[in-house]
Amino acid sequence: MAERKTLFADVIIPIPVRNEFTYRVPFEMNDLIKSGMRVVVNFGKNKLYTAIVSKVHETAPTNYQAKYIEHLLDDYPIVTGKQYQFWKWISAYYMAPIGDVMNAALPANFKLASETKITLHPEFEIHNSNLNKRQMQIYDALEVQETLNLKEISEIIGIKTIHPIIKQMIDDRILISLEEMNYKYTPKTALAYFFKPEYQTEEKLNELALSFENKKSKEKQLHALMLMLSIGDFKQGYEAPVLQKDLAEKDVSLSALQTLVKNGILVSERLQVDRIGLNANELKNKKVLSEVQQTALTEIKEVFKEKDICLLHGVTGSGKTEIYVELIEEQLKLGNQVLFLLPEIALTTQLIQRLSAYFGDKIGVYHSKFNQNERVEIWNHILHDHPERYRIILGARSSIFLPFQRLGLVIVDEEHESSFKQYDPSPRYNARDSSIVLASSFKAKVLLGSATPSIETFYNAKTNKYGLVSLAQRHGGLALPEVFCADLKKERKEKTMHSHISSFLMNSMEDALKAKEQIILFQNRRGYTPTWTCEICNWSPSCKNCDVSLTYHKQTNSLKCHYCGYVSAPVGTCGSCSSNRLRMNGFGTEKIEDELSIIFPEKIIKRLDLDTTRSKNAYQIILSDFENRKIDILIGTQMVTKGLDFDNVSLVGILDADMLLNRPDFRAFERAFQLMTQVSGRAGRKKKRGKVIVQTGRPDHWIIQKVIEHNYLEFYDNEILERKNFFYPPFYKIIQFTLKHRDENQLNSSALEFADSLKDVFKERVLGPEYPIVKRINNLYLKTVVLKIEREISHKIVKEQIQQKVDEFYAIAANKSIRLVIDVDPA
């Protein structure tokens, strides 16, 4: 017998601890265990966790007795060495515990814990399946008990290594975790038709068609049948579904379809639309690039010969997507995988549909709110480098964590979007910046696209760190919209305002509506009125948990806190002096909707904001109604600024530009320019030149001027000087510390102590402690300390020094109850 080695494994446990832990490998696992596999380990007070093996070795830990690994869950590594290195980088750079990174990276289904409740998959049918003995036992037990956790199942069938069996059964859709079952995700469905199995042969269908021919009464059914055949994707037999919508578009009569169902020829069934969309049975041909696009594409390829990163700066409507398509196709030909990062999946259905129409099954949409089984499915396909499916991942930030094998290209669309940065929970990573690190480990290329690049990115392009390719014209020679100002001061003085709408905007709205064109109004504040103030004593109703005033929501007739969700009844009198002279200040989307519905009672007015899109498909419904011109005026928060492409929008109104300009944040001007330019870009995308009206009290403000001129370059030149003069990114890196505690005095003394200890090392680079704008949220008082570090200084050393200071801070008993949040490169 071969000598038995005593092996140990370092593992990452999905809890917020900085270290990895060493466990003893039971002898029977010696030949099986590899880094990247999942194991079950006992940690702390007898709790079991799914952990990832990072290293197998022969060195026993010196300061504790290693416990045995309980189970080995995988027969192959599910996390690659590259991924592990990437996790380590994220953990170090963003100062996040490696366990937090693991949590963010792995789909929840990979983290089966012994408490996970399992039930039978609702779509599983026992009669057409072939279960082995153990699976049968589990099936029987679940028939009786309905739900069981892993521990119970393990006891019932009497084996310890239950995880691999359950995992396999989940993969085979025999079982499902209860969490997954109850997942709120209710997919939008659409009615589709299939041929009954007995008709699924060419012979049968021919026979049927013949029997319908030359019969007046069967004419419509024959038409329906023929169209089923011409639309359906029947490459592998006649079993594919055809959507009713597609048939109806080709004038197939509904009653003919129903008759075919009644006569047992077709079956109708509701299918999940997003799944069908992705299977895209009608693939579209790519568009032929215009000369300008072709030049840009060539330039990008030239850049990629010398550099790994290129910025595509293309104005709104310049046709960036078609250039992405060409680059993606080139990668597919090379057999590579492509990662396409989008700021928010929910807000980019249009783009997903466009790309799916070209690439069909090769696209996978990966999103943390998605069905967990699908996430695991995509994970496995990517891991095994499946040659056909999921070669292109369209994903929100968490898709950077997929186990790529042959990543060739990363595209970051709308790279300036702040939602690429995760704020809560830790790791507080920026997916755009992290994807650059990810790409470099594959020697893959990165294309950043935007009409309004972030200052940091453009700086990198200007200083030749990145390549730069520009598209200055809209596709098809369309002009960029014409931007005007409505001078609020003047209109107020002349009393021409209609409540919050200037007469300039009002007249333009009337013209647009008369011409049957659509309007988008942008107001970056939801609710009705954000502040009520007593005219006598200045009192305002405020949240009992937070230090902010409450926003009135008319629909629910309530006052809401937008920070913690606290709701209270509206007040009629001042809470301080009891006067009833409460004045309402400011306005949100809801108020505008209300006012406009009185002015334009016959028009359809809808609102797109957090309050109207809480249910899962609400967003899609509003958008498709708008696209189909069932809505005349769409009022929205920044949700309306994202890359939407509507062809009948002739007018965009920005209702309160000053609110955007007045934010006390070093990025306020950058964000204001981006938001105004992006929302302007929604106007006039297909036919005539669009019109944008910016309502402002400061029409001469330089940011407004640059928006009017569509002059990104001058905006950048001004802004970069400010950044340099005031020590902001990209010249300095910012690390922000937020300290939180219930007790204000305790917080103040701890924050002061922490800032002082940082100052010992970093000197005048430390600012604060200061109260943030909202100094109390959810009953916790907040103080921030900001560290500004020269770009040139090694971030590694800085972070080690910070970590040491944090450790010293927590070594003091009085600080133990303080929460300290570290945000590297805050957005």
Binding mask 585-624 for ligand ADP (x = CB under 6 A): ----------------------------------------
Q: Given the complex with ligand ADP, which of 316 and 549 has the nearer CB atom?
A: 316
Binding mask 165-204 for ligand ADP (x = CB under 6 A): ----------------------------------------
Q: How many residues does the chain have?
A: 827
Q: What is the 3-state secondary structure (H, E, C) of 318-355?
A: CCHHHHHHHHHHHHHHCCCEEEEECCCHHHHHHHHHHH
H/E segment holding residue 448 = strand 445-450
Residue 539 binds Zn ion (CB under 5 A): yes
DSSP single-letter state for residue 65? P
Q: CA-CA distance, 749 to 125, in Å (whole number)?
A: 64
Minimum distance of Zn ion from residue 529's CB (angstroms): 17
Residue 293 binds ligand ADP (CB under 6 A): yes
Q: What tokens were used for 750?
A: 């701890």
Number of residues that bind ligand ADP (CB under 6 A): 16
712-725 vs 702-709: helix crossing angle, rounded to 10: 150
Minimum distance of Zn ion from residue 578's CB (angstroms): 7
Out of 48, 536, 621, 713, name the contact with Zn ion by CB under 5 A: 536
Q: Given the complex with Zn ion, which of 7 and 574 has the nearer CB atom?
A: 574
Which candidate, 220, 225, 182, places its Cα nearest to that of 206?
225
Neighbours of 682 (CB within 10 A): 26
CB 480 within 8 A of CB 710: yes
Q: Which stretch binds ligand ADP (CB under 6 A): 69-77, 97-105, 142-150, 284-292?
A: 284-292
Residue 797 touches which of Zn ion, ligand ADP, none (CB < 5 to 8 A by kind)? none
3-state secondary structure of 469: strand
DSSP single-letter state for residue 2? P
Neighbours of 579 (CB within 10 A): 13
Minimum distance of ligand ADP from residue 480's CB (angstroms): 11
668-680 vs 702-709: helix crossing angle, rounded to 10: 30
Residue 314 touches which of Zn ion, ligand ADP, none (CB < 5 to 8 A by kind)? ligand ADP
Distance separating the N- and C-terminal Cα atoms of the chain = 60
Residue 11 touches which of ligand ADP, Zn ion, none (CB < 5 to 8 A by kind)? none
Q: CA-CA distance, 251 to 50, in Å (whole number)?
A: 55
Residue 316 touches which of Zn ion, ligand ADP, none (CB < 5 to 8 A by kind)? ligand ADP
∠ CA 17-19-23, rounded to 5°: 110
Q: Given the complex with ligand ADP, which of 645 and 658 has the nearer CB atom?
A: 645
Residue 729 touches which of Zn ion, ligand ADP, none (CB < 5 to 8 A by kind)? none
Q: CA-CA distance, 304 to 312, in Å (whole number)?
A: 12
Residue 550 binds Zn ion (CB under 5 A): no
Residue 534 touches which of ligand ADP, Zn ion, none (CB < 5 to 8 A by kind)? Zn ion
Neighbours of 552 (CB within 10 A): 24
Q: How many CA atoms lie within 13 A of 388 on its CB side?
A: 2
Minimum distance of Zn ion from residue 559's CB (angstroms): 11
Q: What tokens were used for 775?
A: 């100094």
Minimum distance of Zn ion from residue 410's CB (angstroms): 39
Q: Given the complex with Zn ion, which of 685 and 776 has the nearer CB atom?
A: 776
CB 566 within 8 A of CB 545: yes
Q: Given the complex with ligand ADP, which of 320 and 428 has the nearer CB atom?
A: 320
Residue 356 binds ligand ADP (CB under 6 A): no
Residue 290 binds ligand ADP (CB under 6 A): yes
Q: CA-CA distance, 227 to 230, in Å (whole number)?
A: 5
Q: CA-CA distance, 162 to 151, in Å (whole number)?
A: 8
Residue 150 touches which of ligand ADP, Zn ion, none (CB < 5 to 8 A by kind)? none
Q: Which stretch binds Zn ion (CB under 5 A): 61-69, 529-537, 647-655, 806-814?
A: 529-537
Within residues 618-637, the interface with ligand ADP by CB under 6 A covers none
Number of residues that bind Zn ion (CB under 5 A): 15
Within residues 231-260, the interface with Zn ion by CB under 5 A covers none
Q: CA-CA distance, 112 to 20, in Å (whole number)?
A: 19
Out of 254, 283, 577, 774, name the contact with Zn ion by CB under 5 A: 577
Q: Which stretch binds ligand ADP (CB under 6 A): 115-123, 168-176, 289-297, 369-377?
A: 289-297
Q: What tokens were used for 486?
A: 């409505």
Helices H / strands E in the chain, number of each: 27, 34
Q: Which stretch binds ligand ADP (CB under 6 A): 135-143, 215-223, 281-289, 363-371?
A: 281-289
Residue 287 touches which of Zn ion, ligand ADP, none (CB < 5 to 8 A by kind)? ligand ADP
Out of 183, 212, 563, 666, name the contact with Zn ion by CB under 5 A: 563
For residue 555, the one-letter residue type is: Q
Binding mask 718-757 for ligand ADP (x = CB under 6 A): ----------------------------------------
Which candidate, 658, 664, 743, 651, places its Cα nearest to that of 703?
658
Q: Which stretch binds Zn ion (CB under 5 A): 126-134, 286-294, 528-536, 596-604?
A: 528-536
Out of 392, 574, 655, 661, name the contact with Zn ion by CB under 5 A: 574
For residue 793, the one-letter residue type is: I
For residue 499, the one-letter residue type is: S
DSSP single-letter state for residue 463? T
Q: Given the complex with Zn ion, which of 582 and 655 has the nearer CB atom?
A: 582
Residue 545 touches which of Zn ion, ligand ADP, none (CB < 5 to 8 A by kind)? Zn ion
Q: Which stretch binds ligand ADP (CB under 6 A): 67-75, 191-199, 221-229, 286-294?
A: 286-294
Could you check whether the bond before residue 570 is cis, i.e. omega within 30 degrees of 0? Answer: no
Q: Given the complex with ligand ADP, which of 170 and 520 has the nearer CB atom?
A: 520
For residue 39, the one-letter residue type is: V
Binding mask 297-336 for ligand ADP (x = CB under 6 A): -----------------x-xxxxxxx--------------
Q: DSSP labels for 744-773?
A: HHHHHHHHHHHHHHHHHHHGGGEEEEE--S
**Residue 319: which region, alpha, beta or left (left: phi > 0; alpha: psi -120 to 50)?**
left
Binding mask 645-664 for ligand ADP (x = CB under 6 A): x-------------------
Q: Given the complex with Zn ion, which of 472 and 537 has the nearer CB atom?
A: 537
Out of 397, 421, 432, 475, name the contact with ligand ADP by CB under 6 A: 475
Which candidate, 118, 109, 106, places its Cα nearest to that of 52?
106
Q: Given the complex with ligand ADP, which of 594 and 645 has the nearer CB atom?
A: 645
Q: Which stretch binds Zn ion (CB under 5 A): 100-108, 567-575, 625-633, 816-824?
A: 567-575
Minimum distance of ligand ADP from residue 403's CB (angstroms): 29
Residue 545 binds Zn ion (CB under 5 A): yes
Residue 337 binds ligand ADP (CB under 6 A): no
Q: DSSP labels for 76-120?
A: S-SS-HHHHHHHHHHHHHTT--HHHHHHHHS-GGGG--TT-EEEE
Neighbours of 204 (CB within 10 A): 16
Q: DSSP labels for 561-577?
A: -TTT--EE---SS-TTT
Minimum distance of ligand ADP from residue 301's CB (angstroms): 17
Binding-site ranges for ligand ADP (CB under 6 A): 287-290, 293, 314, 316-322, 475, 643, 645
Q: Which residues bind Zn ion (CB under 5 A)?
A: 534, 536-537, 539, 543, 545-546, 561, 563-564, 566, 574, 576-577, 579
